[in-house]
Structure 1
Amino acid sequence: MTEDSDWVERFPGLSRLDLPTKQLLTKRSTIVRVPKNTMVFGPGKSPENMLFLLDGTVRVQQVSETGHQIVLYRIEAGQSCVLTTACLLAYDDYSAEGIAESVVKAAAVPREVFDDLVAGSKPFRDFVFAAFSKRLTDLFLMIDEVAFQRVDVRLADKLIKLSSGADSVSTTHQKLSVELGTAREVISRQLQEFQRRGWIEQARGSVTLKDRQQLQTLANHNA
């Protein structure tokens, strides 16, 4: 038995399935590995498998015809890809792209197995739609932020979250603009203002948080 043969147990919703269904998933799935910065899926492509992430992070982003980008969400270890779920259910092509932010390992379950389980297994169907509903709620919140929240508030919040408690964030103005769905110039102006206030210090490819408390106070306007 390999270390990945019990991957189903790493997903709470799947671990509650009956033994025959678990065995079907593990027997019919394939463990795939994707290098960092590789496109896992992209617009116009049809999903052939349901993906369950075991290791790494995948960034799902929308790219407009003019090249404008916005991060929709990230898939972390222990999660399934809701966009893949939607495309499988609708027999549709991807409308966004997924980029491996690190080395990624995932269990790929073929479309026909996914279809059979959605139709015949209530616990599996419940797992699929629970994950789908949660991500849909997150997307509505993201739309609300982009449409109605102040950029300075969202930027302060994003810097704190990306820092994960560290003193600095490895990022660029362009990456932050993609994260927040706004223009690079807007991010640059706001970072300059944060620096003028003494809250941050900028360097090439990084932002140092000099006054986390002030950033947190501003970010709390998102609450």
Structure 2
Amino acid sequence: MINPEVQNFPFWRHLDTAWQERLDASVRRADYAAGQEVRGNGSECLGVLMLLSGRMRVYISAEDGREATIYRLGQGEICVLSASCTMPDIHYDVQIQAMEDSSALILPTPVFARLIRENIYVENYAYRSATEHFSDIIQAIEQLLFQTLEQRLVSFLLDEAASQNSDELHVTQEQTARAIGSAREAVTRALKKLSQEGLIRLFRGGVELLDRKELYSRV
């Protein structure tokens, strides 16, 4: 019997019966602890990842250790960039980290590579998905180059609030610093400044947004 979770891959209905059975037999489930690297810099091609539960971040890193989060994955979302090695025209690499305890289905690289060669719909889906996220990479680079630390910090806090649908964010200062590509000490100072201005409230292990309207004006 085919695993119903596998049928959530967006290209499932475009596969014939033989490929559906092959996909079902090939996909594996993986569990990750909060903070665990799912795919590191220079690591082997992981394959297509579909998040079943939890949250992950997709990011790029510089040689000096700075990081910039490109986008976040939520439940049911798919990352094709984790299998970018199967697409010869895609020449950028990403890293993936679990933001909280997470579970995912992984379609191995060899299976996905063959599927791309044999199914034009899957090939189009893969390139469309990768192209859509290229703009996210450009935006992340622009933020590092042209935005102030406060602007990057506020943008991150607002994005997290929207993602979690809450003004109370359980995110550490270390996680925040890594997400926006800055030093923890600098992030700590910027958070304290926003707190002194009454825009946020700091608590152990997190931040509460108190004035979203003013925070939006700072971006």
Q: TM-score, normalised by structure 1?
A: 0.80
Matched, 1:116 2:98: no
CA-based RMSD = 2.9
1:153 is aligned to: 151
| CA gap 1:48/1:39 in 2 versus in 1, 3 angstroms | closer
SS at match of 2:14: coil
Report if the CA contact (8 A) 2:48-2:80 is conserved.
Answer: no
In the alignment, what sits opposite 1:34? Answer: 32
Tell me whether 1:184 sits opposite 2:184 in the alignment.
yes
User: Could you say which residue in structure 2 is the equivalent of 1:9?
Assistant: 7
Residue of structure 2 in register with 1:193 after alignment: 193
Equivalents in 1 of 2:171, 2:101: separation in Å? 19
1:170 aligns with 2:170: yes
Q: Which amino acid aligns with 1:148?
A: F
Q: Structure 1: which amino acid aligns with 2:122?
A: F
Q: Does residue 102 of structure 1 match 2:100?
A: yes
Q: Does the 8 Å contact 1:16/1:123 carry over to 2?
A: no
Change (3 A) 1:207 1:58: closer
Q: Distance in 2 between matches of 1:206 and 1:104?
A: 20
Deviation at 1:96, TM superposition (A): 5.0
Q: Distance in 2 between matches of 1:206 and 1:48?
A: 31
Question: How far apart in 2 are the matches of 1:173 and 1:101?
Answer: 13
Count of residue pairs brought into register by the alignment: 216
Query: Which residue matches 2:217?
Result: 217
Partner of 2:139: 141
Query: 1-side partners of 2:197 and 2:155: how far apart?
Result: 16
Query: Which residue of 69, 85, 88 maps to 1:87?
Result: 85
Gaps of 5+ in 1: none
Supply the distance in 1 between the matched residues of 2:192 and 2:46 (Cα, whole angstroms): 46
- Asked if 2 retains the 8 angstrom alpha-carbon contact of 1:7 and 1:26, the reply is no
SS in 1 for 2:87: helix
One-letter amino acid matched to 2:56: V
CA contact (8 A) 2:55 2:74 kept: yes
Which deviates more, 134-143 or 38-47?
A: 38-47
Please give the secondary structure, in 1, of the residue aligned with 2:85: helix
- Equivalent position of 2:16 in the other structure: 19
Residue 32 of structure 1 aligns to a residue in which SS?
strand
CA gap of 1:95–1:197, structure 2 versus 1, over 3 A, is same
Give the partner amino acid of 1:17: H
Query: Residues 116-161 of structure 1, C-alpha deviation per residue, up to 9 Å, x if partnerless?
Result: 1111101111111111111111111111122112332332222222
CA distance in 1: counterparts of 2:107 and 2:184, whole angstroms: 38
Instruction: Write out per-residue CA displacement over residues 149-195 of structure 1, whole angstroms, 9 at most, x where no aligned residue.
Output: 23323322222222334332222332222111122233223222212
Letter in 1 for 2:14: L
Q: Give SS of 2:84's match.
A: helix
Output the CA distance in 2 between the equivalents of 1:194 and 1:63: 27
CA apart distance, 1:48: 5.4
